[in-house]
Amino acid sequence: MLRVISTTLAKSSNLAATAATASMQIGSFRKQSTIIKQSDGVREIVLNDPRARNTLSCEVMSSIFDGITKDVHDESLRCIVISSTGPVWSAGHNLKEISASSDGGHAIFSQLVDIILNIYKSPVPIIAKVNGMATAAGLQLAASCDMVVASDKASFAASGVNIGIFCTTPGIAISRVMPRMKSSYLLFTGFPINAQDALTAGLASVVVPEAQLDAETNKITQSIKEKPRAILAMGKKFYYKQLGLSVKDAYDQGTDVMVKNIGMEDAQEGLKSFVEKRKPNFNKK
């Protein structure tokens, strides 16, 4: 069952409860800059304003924030995908809003940082499904997801510098997933790189022909859904934590996480299924 549970023009305080309402509203509004729908455990945040090149306006960021944080501890939610319609995945911040802001964009930049920190904190994996250009803060958002699944139509640029705004905050995101020689190339030149270069550089987890992007994304979300939610959540949490630790500290703490994992019901079922040579029957909570 596919439910449309939120749109930018029809934000709900309780995603699940108002799903039907929001769904009806889709017919009545022609322009929803963001659509949030959830089906069988996978929530999809669709950037849906191709005419505005899916810019991350405050309204859109507010929707993304909702999509990433609302009811996130609901056990039926297993995975979040951020996708887009149109040739531009996201062109980054809304420059008119930045121009008009009274704080030099501080609140706007901070709003995206909030989203990013909540991506890291989210108990479920969050996937950027990229089928177009991701530039500036759009690049930053994609590079801050747990995984980037891209089609051969994807491209990436730190293009802010072209209008005199160095992609300083996007640089924080990309320099943590790409080699320095590649991230500095993007930041200093503003030039785009294509999907294959992004894959080589480590910015994309996987790249497939456009026609296979849905199938590839579904393969990954399906794989996630077959795994115990609580165990993925614990694994993800420590994964980001250990990135900042020394090898020794990481192993000291990581060993404790492993032991805790082994003690969990679904791990016990997994071990048993292995010994009994059958598929595990997870609780998935």
Is 278 one of the binding residues for its own copies (CB under 8 A)? no
Are 56 and 34 in contact, with CB atoms under 8 Å apart?
Answer: no
The site that binds its own copies (CB under 8 A) totals a number of residues, namely 95
User: Which strands, in side-by-side order, build the sheet including 206-208?
Assistant: 2-7, 34-39, 42-47, 79-84, 126-130, 147-151, 206-208
Which stretch in 19-27, 29-37, 48-56, 183-191 sits in contact with its own copies by CB under 8 A? Answer: 183-191
Q: Which of 28, 30, 102, 180 binds its own copies (CB under 8 A)?
A: 180
Distance CA 21, CA 8 (A): 13
Paired tokens of 57: 């306006």
Contact pattern for its own copies over residues 67 through 86, marking x by CB under 8 A: --------------------
Q: Which of 17, 191, 209, 212 binds its own copies (CB under 8 A)?
A: 191
Give whichever of 36 and 231 is closer to its own copies, judged by the CB atom. Answer: 231
Give the interface segment with its own copies, choosing from 16-24, 49-57, 60-68, 244-252 (CB under 8 A): 244-252
- Shortest distance (Å) from residue 239 CB to its own copies: 5
- Per the listing, tokens 């016990």 go with 268
**Of the candidate residues 44, 49, 66, 266, the single one contacting its own copies (CB under 8 A):** 266
User: Which residue, 26 or 165, is less far from its own copies as judged by CB?
Assistant: 165
Question: Are 78 and 124 contacting, i.e. CB atoms less than 8 angstroms apart?
Answer: yes
Q: Are 136 and 102 in contact (CB under 8 A)?
A: no
164 binds its own copies (CB under 8 A): yes
Sheet hosting strand 193-194, strand order edge to edge: 88-90, 133-135, 155-157, 193-194
Q: Which is nearer to its own copies, 21 or 40 (CB)?
A: 40
Contact 32, 48 (CB under 8 A): yes
Residue numbers 14-43 binding its own copies by CB under 8 A: none
**Three-point CA angle 270, 69, 45, nearest 5°:** 90
Considering the complex, what minimum distance in angstroms separates the CB of residue 283 from its own copies?
9
Can residue 152 be called a binding residue for its own copies (CB under 8 A)? Answer: no
Give the whole-angstrom CA distance, residue 279 versus residue 214.
Answer: 26
> Hey, is 72 helix, strand or coil?
coil
Using rule CB under 8 A, residue 188 touches its own copies: yes
**Per rule CB under 8 A, is residue 228 in the interface with its own copies?**
yes
Please give the full DSSP string across 141-179, using - where no structure is assigned.
Answer: HHHTSSEEEEETT-EEE-GGGGGT---HHHHHHHTTTS-
**Cβ proximity to its own copies, 87 vs 179, nearer residue:** 179
Strands, E, within 8-154: which ranges? 34-39, 42-47, 79-84, 88-90, 126-130, 133-135, 147-151
Least separation in angstroms between residue 176's CB and its own copies is 7
Q: Cβ 63 to its own copies, closest distance in Å?
A: 21
Contact track, its own copies, 100-139, x by CB under 8 A? ---xxxx--xx--x--xx--x----x--------------
Using CB under 8 A, which of 201, 208, 213, 217 touches its own copies?
201
